[in-house]
Amino acid sequence: MQSKGYFSEYFKIIERGLASIDPGQLEQAATIVRDGQQTGRKVIIVGNGGSAAIASHVAVDFTKVAKIRAINFNEADLITCFANDYGYDQWVAMALEAYADKGDVAILISSSGKSPNIVNGAKKAKEMGLAVVTLSGFDAHNPLRELGDINLWVDSSAYNAVEMTHQIWLLSIADYLATHE
């Protein structure tokens, strides 16, 4: 069994993903979040699957660690009600319409950048006057990456590496905001 080689290569993939961004982009994303907070607005973080778990974790850390009001849309009743009534591809857009206020910050996460519900959510957020931060990976020319005010893209096509990178980037923003008040 050659686990050492596997894990060394695996960690190199994660390392490359983490390094695939200009740190200035993370600072720009932090500024968008801080600007929203300073004007009394909230941060709404949304993703599917593992990205939904990341949204939950990051929303709590933004609130607890960085003192920035943040929520996510991970309630099963919300998702299933809105998906049932409006279609799965529209549930994020409709939830934003119901819960977001002009000037809020929407952080939308899709590893592929092609999840229709997240892409439609980004379009709705822009239409509503929200600041939009997107996180994606895989194809550099994915639809989500074209919709944000700042677009954080991981240069990788490995799902777990992309998701871990998104989580690390977002938590680094929370820690940055907590130490740069």
For 69-103, the pLDDT digits (tens) are 999 999 999 999 999 999 999 999 999 999 999 99
100, 44 Cβ separation under 8 angstroms: yes
**Residue matched to tokens 């300073």:** 38
Q: What is the largest CA-CA distance in the chain?
A: 56
- Cα-Cα-Cα-Cα torsion 117, 122, 123, 127, nearest 10 degrees, comes to 130
Q: Report, as an integer, the average pLDDT of 139-156.
A: 97
Homologous superfamily (CATH) of 3-179 is Glucose-6-phosphate isomerase like protein; domain 1 (3.40.50.10490)
All structural domains of the chain with their residue ranges? 3-179
Q: Report, as an integer, the average pLDDT of 44-51.
A: 97
pLDDT > 90? residue 3: no
Element (H, E) at 157: none
Reported pTM: 0.95
